[in-house]
A and B are shown apart, each in its own frame.
Chain A
């Protein structure tokens, strides 16, 4: 099956710093990539949808200036959490959609903001 990687898998940072998370589709070109957030024992919450070369579409209630998304190529998308605060601590998961409209998920990044 298709593989999506995320880096880093875990990050701990101080409040006020920015954190960048990378998402890569390793063996296919992703027409669209998605960023989700998941709190403990809860389902996935879609944050934004990004297409290569265009601006991301954010879900209602997600601050676009806080969660910067860049989709530089058909295999790479990045999420930057700017000026992170403890309430931003969460599990962030990306996914990539292939040309058959199947969505594959990355392993997730656990962010802890102190």
Chain B
């Protein structure tokens, strides 16, 4: 079992829809959780960074972590065509001696005008 699982999609939604992107993880030691957005042929861009359980909101984006179920979510409200990209979840454990992000496979999102 991979440490971070993510449905690769593709996911296609109409403009204005609420998008829900999800990941699950297996390593209980993970404490930090990130969402990156990657446009085609570009490097990933950090969107959200959360620690432990809870919600974090930034504009139209909300990141949610539920450590009891090992579930990570990213919600996008009022989705726009410019949100079309691949979204990668990532986690790491600060207690380990080797800092290394573990990535999901990424979900390809298309927002149709």
Q: Which of A61-69, A76-84, A104-112 contacts B (4 or more CB under 8 A)?
A: A104-112
Question: A32 touching B99 by the CB < 8 A rule?
Answer: yes
Which 5 residue pairs spanning A and B have beta carbons closest together?
Answer: A105-B43, A108-B43, A43-B105, A107-B43, A105-B44
Residue B60, interface by CB 8 Å: no
How many residues belonging to B are interface residues under a CB distance threshold of 8 Å? 21
Residues of B within 8 A of A (CB): 32, 34, 36, 41-46, 49, 88, 94, 98-101, 103-106, 108
Partner of B88 from A43, A91, A106, A110 at Cβ < 8 Å? A43
Interface of B is mostly: loop
Per-residue interface assignment for chain A, residues 22 to 60, with 1 indicating a CB less than 8 Å from any chain B CB and 0 otherwise: 000000000010000000011110100100000001000
A: which residues have CB within 8 A of B?
Answer: 1, 4, 6, 32, 41-44, 46, 49, 57, 91, 93, 95, 97, 101-108, 110
